[in-house]
Structure 1
Amino acid sequence: MNQKSLSAQNKTHKQILSFLKNRKISKVYTEFSSSFNTKENLAVAVSGGPDSLALAYLAKCYAIKNKITVKFFLVDHKLRSESTKEAASVKKILQNIGIICKVLRWKGKKPSRNIQSLAREARYSLLAKECKKNNIKHLLLGHHSNDLFENFLIRVVRGSGLNGLVSFNKRVKYKDGDLNILRPLLDLEKNDLINISKRVFKSFIKDPSNINETYKRTRIRTLLESLEKEGLDLKKLKSTIDNLRDSDKSIKFYVKKNLKDNSLHIKTKDICILKHNFFEQSHEVVFRSLTFVIQKIGKKYYPVRGKSINELINQILLKTFSKITLGGCFVESVNETILISRENTDKIQVL
């Protein structure tokens, strides 16, 4: 980089960091930077909303202060006619403070049902591929505390178990485990992020899908707003979620212990043997342990449906089966043990 370019870059960096002189923005940055500790390069998923723009700004500050590289990506799902124009607008908004953003496009035929879920899956896939291409192991998402509450209520409506209710974490592994999904804003409120976007970028994009009552998340968001007006204390709701998360950690401890003490994984044959004692734990521990084993041996990204796992546990306890398939695995009873192996072409009972 020549002297002129270096001088321009330094000027831009000073301009970016100058906003940290604001007390509120500085406080948010402190919370943001303390939520993860890495000197490795990062990627940021941008959408154009106030939360993701605030994330982009905070990540850029972190990059400058820690002398690392941050890549910024925006996914254009092309589900709306104006989405490409909006993506160009977001690029321009970011470019005004020296942030270069690459647009990733979801190509091919678009779904007519389950749109939000499939679009989210496509978004993660595109972002993960770009991170792999750039040898980046950490992807930052702009989810904040309001998203945490919405996700919790969605899971309540679905009848999710404890593991599902607290699944929205600050740090999770994506698919093969090579990419860390980080949510450093999860303890921050949306209003704080709107304040940053207004001060730094002067504007942001309003996604019309956020007010479209066709989508469950939008209806849950509206419900949450109504509950707040009726006196729901979000701090107490956050405390409830934290308490549930602590309980979940305790269960995970016993699941890990059960897997260690009562199962044997023969890696060379990719077979897992479950001892009799494996099924003498509490139901939740057995349920999670068995789900983990079948998902691991079957090499599936998503776990088997809970209903199928419960049916299998009942059959094992009642000793009413000899051999079935589930989640890409053979599950068979051998003396006092359960043998789980990868499925082949044999025709047997399917659960």
Structure 2
Amino acid sequence: MKKRSLNANQITRKNILANLKDKVIKSVYSSFQNNLKINDHFAVAVSGGPDSLALAFLSKCYSLKKNLKSYFFIVDHKIRKESSFEAKSVQKKLEKFGIKCKILTWKGKKLKGNIQSNARKIRYNLLFKECKTKSIKSLLIGHHKDDLIENFLIRLYRGSGLRGLTSFKVNNQLTNEILIYRPLIKIRKKALLYLSKKAFNFYVNDPFNKDDKFQRSRIRKFLEFSKQEGFNQNKIEKTIDNLEDANASVENYVFRNLSENSFYSKSQNKYLLSAFFFIAPNEIIMRSLFHCIKLVGKKYYNVRGKKVNKLINEIKKDKLPKRTTLGGCIIKKVAETVIIYAEK
């Protein structure tokens, strides 16, 4: 490395880490670091909003302190005509702070209908693909404490069960052997907004965040109104904590069911399920099947619960069709054994 480049890198490092002297930012970084136990290179999803810019800053500090290599990715869905310009603006802005971002561009058809859900799927697919290319096993995303509460209320409104209501955690094992981390999950948006303004004096406002046609936007307005009426959001957090304890107990039985009553062949990407697999309570069987189908089918999202329930009933009643497909998998029953393998 040339001497001029080395000096520039040292100055960038010094400038970034200098922000940690601020009391608020120091406290945020402490929480971030405690939630992140990574000792290998990792990737960071950046959008340009205050949450993700705070994540980019904290991740850069973490990589400098731990001497780890970090990759930063911006996804351009091309949903709005300004999206490409915004992605390049964020890229240029962060580059001044020594944070080099790669823009991942969606080249498929323009999204129509259920835009936020489809955009989320595209985003993760692009991020996973890039991580796989670079052999990255850890991906950091910017969900924070306010997102946790919003997500809980959205799931509650939809009638989600115990697992759905506790779906946001610090980390989740997903497809392609990539571990998603949410190191901001215990930090309020207000603190992240402060950090972004202090460190970058810049962030992008997504107009979709205030568009009432999206459920999440309406939930945010409901929460803001609730605050004015004296509603304490800490009560929701306490409820989520209690539900997570209950969910952990159920997951323990799911683990036992998978360990004792199934066999996974990694080389063949195939699951063999014994008859005992289907003796457990329905919730345990469902979650066990979610795991099997998600792993073999290499999907990010679980298949719909109604379809899995139908599958369970067909297996128990010996009425499973000769060729059943679900979540990118083919499911067959041979004698008392159920076989799950990937569609070609």
Same fold (TM over 0.5): yes
Correspondence 1:168 to 2:168 = yes
The secondary structure found in structure 2 opposite 1:176 is helix
The secondary structure found in structure 2 opposite 1:74 is strand
Contact 2:212 2:218 in 1 (8 A): yes
**For residues 84-119 of structure 1, what are the alpha-carbon distances to aligned partners after superposition, in whole Å with 9 as ceiling and x for unaligned?**
221222123213322222222111321211111111
Aligned-pair CA distance for 1:59 = 0.9
1-structure distance, mates of 2:97, 2:298: 44
- Name 1:51's counterpart in structure 2: 51
Question: How has the CA–CA distance of structure 1 residues 303 and 87 changed in structure 2, closer, same or farther, with 3 Å as cutoff?
Answer: closer
Correspondence 1:70 to 2:70 = yes
Aligned-pair CA distance for 1:143 = 0.9
- Name 1:86's counterpart in structure 2: 86
Aligned-pair CA distance for 1:302 = 4.2
Correspondence 1:321 to 2:322 = no
Question: How has the CA–CA distance of structure 1 residues 95 and 282 changed in structure 2, closer, same or farther, with 3 Å as cutoff?
Answer: same
1-structure distance, mates of 2:240, 2:147: 13
Question: How has the CA–CA distance of structure 1 residues 28 and 49 changed in structure 2, closer, same or farther, with 3 Å as cutoff?
Answer: same
**Matched ranges for 1:35-46 at <5 A:** 35-46=35-46
Percent identity of equivalent pairs: 46
Contact 2:262 2:271 in 1 (8 A): no
Correspondence 1:151 to 2:151 = yes
2-structure distance, mates of 1:301, 1:58: 26
**Matched ranges for 1:1-351 at <5 A:** 1-177=1-177, 179-263=178-262, 270=270, 272-275=272-275, 277-296=276-295, 302-315=301-314, 319=317, 321=319, 323=321, 325-327=324-326, 328-332=329-333, 334=335, 337-342=336-341
**For residues 227-286 of structure 1, what are the alpha-carbon distances to aligned partners after superposition, in whole Å with 9 as ceiling and x for unaligned?**
3333332222112111111111111111121233344567788462422x4444333123
Segments of structure 2 that go 5 or more residues without pairing to the other structure are none
Q: What amino acid sits opposite 2:235 in the alignment?
A: K
* Higher-Rg member (1/2): 1
Aligned-pair CA distance for 1:69 = 1.7
Q: What amino acid sits opposite 2:330 in the alignment?
A: C
2-structure distance, mates of 1:10, 1:41: 20
1-structure distance, mates of 2:138, 2:295: 23
Q: What amino acid sits opposite 2:193 in the alignment?
A: I
Matched residue count: 340
1-structure distance, mates of 2:312, 2:199: 55
Contact 2:263 2:272 in 1 (8 A): yes
- Name 1:348's counterpart in structure 2: none
2-structure distance, mates of 1:242, 1:5: 48
Stretch moving more, 86-95 or 108-117: 86-95
**For residues 142-180 of structure 1, what are the alpha-carbon distances to aligned partners after superposition, in whole Å with 9 as ceiling and x for unaligned?**
110111111111111221111111112221233222x22
1-structure distance, mates of 2:306, 2:60: 45
Question: How has the CA–CA distance of structure 1 residues 3 and 242 changed in structure 2, closer, same or farther, with 3 Å as cutoff?
Answer: same
1-structure distance, mates of 2:120, 2:296: 26
Aligned-pair CA distance for 1:314 = 4.0
The secondary structure found in structure 2 opposite 1:72 is strand
Contact 2:128 2:176 in 1 (8 A): no
Question: How has the CA–CA distance of structure 1 residues 323 and 103 changed in structure 2, closer, same or farther, with 3 Å as cutoff?
Answer: closer
The secondary structure found in structure 1 opposite 2:204 is coil
Question: How has the CA–CA distance of structure 1 residues 125 and 278 changed in structure 2, closer, same or farther, with 3 Å as cutoff?
Answer: closer
Q: What amino acid sits opposite 2:189 in the alignment?
A: K
Q: What amino acid sits opposite 2:53 in the alignment?
A: L
Aligned-pair CA distance for 1:196 = 0.6
Aligned-pair CA distance for 1:72 = 1.5
Question: How has the CA–CA distance of structure 1 residues 5 and 190 changed in structure 2, closer, same or farther, with 3 Å as cutoff?
Answer: same
2-structure distance, mates of 1:300, 1:97: 35
1-structure distance, mates of 2:267, 2:238: 45
Question: How has the CA–CA distance of structure 1 residues 298 and 95 changed in structure 2, closer, same or farther, with 3 Å as cutoff?
Answer: closer
Aligned-pair CA distance for 1:49 = 0.9
Aligned-pair CA distance for 1:47 = 1.0
> TM-score, normalised on structure 1?
0.87
Question: How has the CA–CA distance of structure 1 residues 257 and 209 changed in structure 2, closer, same or farther, with 3 Å as cutoff?
Answer: same
Question: How has the CA–CA distance of structure 1 residues 314 and 52 changed in structure 2, closer, same or farther, with 3 Å as cutoff?
Answer: same
2-structure distance, mates of 1:36, 1:225: 30
Aligned-pair CA distance for 1:219 = 1.6
Q: What amino acid sits opposite 1:51 in the alignment?
A: D
Segments of structure 1 that go 5 or more residues without pairing to the other structure are 346-351
Aligned-pair CA distance for 1:36 = 1.4
2-structure distance, mates of 1:83, 1:94: 16
Q: CA RMSD in A?
A: 2.5
2-structure distance, mates of 1:266, 1:102: 36
Contact 1:42 1:71 in 2 (8 A): yes
